[in-house]
Amino acid sequence: MSAFDIELVGKIGSMALVNSENRDIDYNVISHISRELKPGYVWITSGATEIGRLDYIRRNGKELTGPEDEVKTDYAAQGQIILLETYRTFMDSKYSLRQFLVEHQHFNDPMKREHLKKALLRCPIQNAIPIINYNDPVSYEENRKLEIQQLRTKNAKVVEAIDNDETASQIACLLKPKYLLILSSTDGIFTDLNDKNTLVKEITGANAEEVISNIEYYQNYCDGASRKGSAGARAKLEYVKDSIRMGTTVFIASSKYHIGDIINGKSPSTRILISK
């Protein structure tokens, strides 16, 4: 039996999926990602809310107004269908596409967690590719905060899953992939974002705890986030620690590069792993 249950868990952030100049989906990015997806890959995608927002503006000539929670729900519901349709358009037609919308209870409740795990592990056997996103259209923030608060009275560690970096890391913990790939709008982790020569190409160590200690060193250089609601590079590094403990190799890279090129070291990235 393989040491890993699947080959890859990957995630792409909202800003990496959107062409800000054209105010639309970046079709170059989503097309090359979609063409590389195959059974044994599990893909976590952000972008539904932003894509829904851009689509609404294009059709109505203005943004929605109202309570932030309601606006986010409406944009996400509109964007989900566009996002999945676009992945389907560029994917290899011989593979099935399956959508999984998750919330915190799918990770905090043992029965729901096991149900999700089994469903995802059936996908490669059935020639299907799962695409996962947070269930923004039906997630009510005040109710979610109350549920999380109640869980924290019982458990030391609670998964919130509202940041898809956390969702990707939790899916990796669930499925034990060989690789965890986090795609964003930058080439990886930098000690100085204004200096492209400061890309951290590798974070490694003789064992998991040594790698985690080195991750924490580089977290000191991380500040800021690409968009409102995202937690930035520091959080990315925090979330991948559990995957490192399982022996998964982590890559943080730009969405402009092909998945295969990142994994094979042909494109720049930050690679995080236990040295063999």
Per-residue pLDDT in tens (0 to 9) along the chain, 276 residues: 358 899 999 999 888 998 888 888 999 999 999 999 999 999 999 999 999 999 999 999 999 999 988 998 999 999 999 999 999 999 999 999 999 998 867 777 889 989 999 999 999 999 999 999 977 665 555 555 555 566 566 665 765 656 788 889 989 999 999 999 999 989 999 999 889 999 999 999 999 999 999 999 999 988 654 444 445 888 899 999 999 999 999 999 999 999 999 999 999 999 999 997
CA–CA distance, 74 with 94 (Å, rounded to integer): 32
Question: Which two tokens mark 268?
Answer: 């720049």
Question: Which two tokens mark 90?
Answer: 């560029």
Q: Which domains can be identified in the chain, with CATH numbers?
A: 6-274 (3.40.1160.10)
Provide Rg for the chain, Cα atoms: 18
pTM, entire model: 0.88
3-state secondary structure 168-212: HHHHHHHHCEEEEEEEECCCCCECCCCCHHHECCEEEECCHHHHH
CA-angle at 213, arms to 276 and 252, nearest 5°: 70
